[in-house]
Amino acid sequence: MKPILTVVLAFSLSLLAHSQERVKVKISTNYGDIVAELYDETPIHRDNFIKLVKDSFYNGTLFHRVIPGFMIQGGDPVSKEENPQQSIGNGGPGYTLPAEFNKKFFHKKGALAAARMGDAVNPKKESSGSQFYIVEGQVYDEKTLTMFANRMGVTFNKEQQKAYSTIGGTPHLDANYTVFGEVIEGLELISKISNVKRDKNNLPLEKVVMKVSLVK
């Protein structure tokens, strides 16, 4: 009887582990592929991103705003147009998402987060329905992190301090923008894309086109 129970238990644990795997997406660009996983703890953003990917919403859109040492931003459907009728950076699917701040997730290098309008017109810090950014950031020393913490009225935990002082990130964005995933493959491409030649609005002079798909 014991061998049967052992097999059943092992199978059940295997199913549980499989069910707990995070959804992964591949962002393919002319510079290579970036693979990111989506957090289950931010279900509204996760499910919305999955829906847009399944609808091929992102295919043909651009990384339209890239800033070295900061981040790369994309997901605006207006960027698909050859000659946009409105400035790139203001488009979306026609809705916003409520913020899903979680202290577990922060703006370390490779963080996948939702872009949004500024506080003056968006006091609830609601996220864009489609635009997102991937953090490149910078490495900060203890003194600078303390300055950020005092200015923001927060305390960075040990995990945050370690990440920001080693791989880097953008700590000043924490608790202001929803982080809903992170890059697990292709981290080096963030810097490659952020450092392309760009115009005064940080739009790459040579288009960085994306195609986003679910990783099965």
For 10-21, write each residue's pLDDT tens digit: 444 444 444 479
Are residues 131 and 113 in contact, defined by beta-carbon separation less than 8 angstroms?
no
Residue-wise pLDDT tens digits, 6-61: 444 444 444 444 447 999 999 999 999 999 999 999 999 999 999 999 999 999 99
The reply to whether 116 falls in a domain is yes
The per-residue pLDDT for 7 is 42
Q: Return the CATH number at 92.
A: 2.40.100.10
Q: Is the pTM of this model over 0.75?
A: yes
Q: Is residue 103 part of a domain?
A: yes
**Mean pLDDT (whole number) for 122-134:** 98
Task: Let me know if residue 16 belongs to a domain.
Answer: no
Give the span between the Cα atoms of 137 and 164, in whole angstroms. Answer: 9
pLDDT at 85: 62
- Mean pLDDT for the stretch of residues 158-182: 97
3-state secondary structure of 67: strand
The answer to whether residue 76 is domain-embedded is yes
* DSSP letter assigned to residue 215: -
> Is 96 a domain residue?
yes
Q: Please, what is the Cα angle at 135 between 138 and 33, to 5 degrees?
A: 120
* Tens digits of residue pLDDT in 186-215: 999 999 999 999 999 999 999 999 999 999
Quickly state the pLDDT bin for 86 (edges 50, 70, 90). confident
Identify any residues that bridge with 112 across adjacent strands, giving them in sequence order: 134, 181
Which of 158-163's residues contact partners 24+ apart within 8 Å by CB, and which partners?
Answer: 160/106, 160/108, 163/106, 163/108, 163/109
Q: How many domains are there within the chain?
A: 1
Percent of the chain residues topping a pLDDT of 70: 90
**116/187 Cα distance (integer angstroms):** 23
Residue 17 domain-assigned?
no
Question: Do 42 and 112 meet the contact criterion of CB atoms below 8 Å apart?
Answer: no
Indicate the pLDDT class of residue 176, thresholds 50, 70 and 90: very high
Mean pLDDT estimate for the chain = 91
Domain boundaries, position 185: 22-214
Token pair in block for residue 141: 């020393």
Residue 113 lies in a domain: yes
**For position 137, what pLDDT does the model report?**
98
Q: Please compute, for residue 98, the number of CA atoms within 13 A of its CA located in the half-sphere on the CB side.
A: 5
Task: Judge contact between 127 and 114, C-beta under 8 A.
Answer: yes
**Does residue 9 form part of some domain?**
no
